[in-house]
Amino acid sequence: MFGGRMKVVAYLNHDKALFYRVVLDVLLDEESRLGIHLSTKEVAQRVREALSVEPELLAQLPSVDALLEDLYRWGNVDRIHNTRRITTPEEYLQRDFLYQLTSAGARVHREMTRIDQDMADAGALQSSMLPEILTSLATLVRALRSGEEDLEAALGAFRTTTNGFARLSEDAKLFVQSLNGSLASEEIRDPETFIAYKNVVVRYLRSFTVVLHQNSPLIAKLITQAERARLLSRLPELAALETAPVLGLSHEEAVDREVERMRERWNGLRRWFVPATERSPVAELLLDRASDAINFIILTVGHINDQRFRRASRTADLVALAGWFDRFDREGSVRESTALWRTAFGNYSARHLGHPAAPEAGTDLQPEISWWHSDPAPVSAELRARGPRAETGPLPRIRNPRRAKSLLAARQQQEHATVEAAERSLAARGPIRLSELGQLNSSEAEIFLACLSLALSVRQSTGGIRRARTPDGRLLVTLGIAPTERTGAGVGLRGGRLSTKDFQLTLSLNGRGRR
């Protein structure tokens, strides 16, 4: 074993590992049915039945005899010579065997099967396990306080607590790993599926966090009470009740090993719910992870909605921009690439001092040229010695807003007077057909159009009359059918002429309304 190779796991690295595992599945299934042996023919038949759903694998199936021979050589299976139903020397010389799994082979294959199931299992945050752990802990505390006659009840409660906690811990680990894998995806290919997944996960996490927040303090309190009832010192008594004998170990050594295992499981339960000086409880870390997952999911959904409802796609813009940069890079257009960078991101280069050169030089000192590639710009001696100076004048006077307010009030008063005059002018005309209105000034036209639009927006009564009141309550608008043969009317406005159906318009002025 040390320095060498464990032959019992050799089939895992073989190119025929799939077929070896199918053979072991058949033998393990027979063992679970309380069977003892299977002949070579029976093993081959069941292997073919298992592979019948995969015709391609069935066509590649090697000799089952050779597979069993390799497994026997590696120590995964044991065999005896099959002497049943042998009637001739030829049948005896065929060397038919009965196969069964060895103890080591069965344990290795069971563990590999469990690993496969764990990889396919998403895990679960079983909130129902927390009340069960709480109940079993309360039973354990009562049994420890009652005396020696309840040691069996205490042992049963201890195992119920630790076994339930082991399932909770393992499922929580698998769920967190699955959640991390789901949230770590850089690209969400189906937003609708992710949003549906978000709704389920958020409800699931919130329900678990509520139960965990409610039960964690109670579980921590019961753990402390159990330790005060001398649980750790009485673990040897509990372990001695049902410790199974182990070959090569005395009863005391087997009990000591069981006590150590029980103490490790209890310490694991304690780390979950009881805080320590150097660390926080695992339950708090799980609550933080659930809260982070909820916040991340909500943030991701916000990004999805931003992409779905925003007219311009940022991703498409950035991809197009990256394509332009790539094209300029392949063409060697450094100047165009720099100009695109400045325009797209506004990261312009530093502006250096420039100066027009002498006419005979033929070139000017451009400010965008680096200092490393240009001649120094001439600076006057006065600027070098004194620097720029700005003459400071008197502070500006603060304007008085009274005049501006009075002008604004006068303008508003004049506008109100103009509007009121236009309202009185239209109301004084009484019931009038639109074709008889003639030319309207700008104020009258504005009021006329507003009243006409307001009246046409309401439902007409049985007589074909529409009534509406302006929002300020000053005008009651009545619009009816004009008793005339004309079907159309024209109203002169400042910007042109309005053609519409000929109606009879009545504006009633109400002095109580306020503008």
pLDDT in tens, 278-310: 777 877 777 777 777 777 777 777 777 766 666
pLDDT at 94: 62
pLDDT at 4: 46
pLDDT tens for 346-358 read: 776 665 566 666 6
Residue 92's pLDDT band (boundaries 50, 70, 90)?
low
More confident residue, 82 or 311: 82
pLDDT at 319: 85
pLDDT at 122: 44
Q: Where do the structural domains in the chain lie, given as residue ranges?
A: 7-120, 129-299, 314-345, 421-509
Tell me how far apart the alpha carbons of residues 122 and 286 are, in angstroms, rounded to a whole number: 16
pLDDT at 450: 86
Query: What is the rounded average pLDDT of the residues 377-404?
Result: 69
pLDDT tens for 193-222 read: 666 666 676 777 777 777 777 888 888 888
Residue 5's pLDDT band (boundaries 50, 70, 90)?
low
Q: Which of 258-262, 295-299, 407-411, 412-416 has the lowest mean pLDDT?
A: 295-299
Judged by phi (left if over 0) then psi (alpha if -120 to 50, else beta), residue 62 lies in beta
How would you label 414-452 residue by residue, b for 16+ Cβ within 10 Å and e otherwise? eeeeebeebbeebbeeeebbbbebeebeebbbbbbeebb
Task: Answer whether residue 3 shows pLDDT above 50.
Answer: no
pLDDT at 268: 84
pLDDT at 2: 36
Give the closest residue to 16 by CA, choosing from 82, 56, 66, 52.
Answer: 66
pLDDT at 123: 46
As given in the structure block, the two tokens for residue 201 are 């996960």
Mean pLDDT of the chain: 77
Residue 362's pLDDT band (boundaries 50, 70, 90)?
low
For residues 257 and 249, the answer to whether their CB atoms sit within 8 Å is yes
Task: Answer whether residue 515 shows pLDDT above 60.
Answer: no
For residues 51 and 26, the answer to whether their CB atoms sit within 8 Å is no
Residue 447's pLDDT band (boundaries 50, 70, 90)?
confident
**Which residues, at least 6 apart from 512, have a Cβ–Cβ distance to it below 8 Å?**
473
**Residues 269/275/281/285 CA torsion (nearest 10 deg):** 170
| Count, residues in the chain | 515
For residues 513 and 473, the answer to whether their CB atoms sit within 8 Å is yes
Query: What is the rounded average pLDDT of the residues 429-437?
Result: 82
The three-state secondary structure class of 78 is: strand
pLDDT at 364: 61
Tell me how far apart the alpha carbons of residues 172 and 125 are, in angstroms, rounded to a whole number: 5
pLDDT at 468: 86
Residue 12's pLDDT band (boundaries 50, 70, 90)?
confident
Q: Is 354 exposed, middle or buried (0-12, 13-18, 19+ CB in 10 A)?
A: middle
Query: What is the rounded average pLDDT of the residues 454-482?
Result: 83
As given in the structure block, the two tokens for residue 413 are 């008063």
As given in the structure block, the two tokens for residue 235 are 């673990």
Count the Cβ atoms, other than its own, within 10 Å of residue 28: 17
Tell me how far apart the alpha carbons of residues 444 and 29 are, in angstroms, rounded to a whole number: 97
Q: Which of 168-182, 214-228, 409-423, 486-500 has the lowest mean pLDDT?
A: 168-182
Q: What is the pairing mode between strands 496-501 and 488-493?
A: antiparallel
Query: What is the rounded average pLDDT of the residues 69-98?
Result: 75
The dihedral sign for the CA sequence 376, 377, 379, 384: negative
Which CA distances in Å does 343 have to 330, 332, 370?
Answer: 20, 19, 19
Tokens 């300029």 appear where?
Answer: 328
**Continuous segment of H or E residues that includes residue 298:** helix 282-309
Query: What is the rounded average pLDDT of the residues 66-82?
Result: 86
Query: What is the rounded average pLDDT of the residues 466-471?
Result: 84
Contacts 24+ apart (CB under 8 A), 479-486: 479/452, 479/455, 479/503, 479/504, 479/505, 479/506, 480/504, 480/506, 482/433, 482/434, 482/435, 484/433, 484/435, 486/435
For residues 419 and 472, the answer to whether their CB atoms sit within 8 Å is no
Task: Answer whether residue 324 shows pLDDT above 80.
Answer: yes
pLDDT at 484: 66
Give the closest residue to 68 by CA, choosing from 109, 38, 35, 104.
Answer: 38
Task: Answer whether residue 1 shows pLDDT above 50.
Answer: no
**Which residues, at least 6 apart from 228, have a Cβ–Cβ distance to it below 8 Å?**
none
Phi, psi of 407 (to 5 degrees): -65, -40
Q: Does domain 7-120 have CATH number 1.10.8.60?
A: no
The three-state secondary structure class of 5 is: coil
Half-sphere exposure of 18 (CA within 13 A, CB side): 10
**Continuous segment of H or E residues that includes residue 138:** helix 129-146
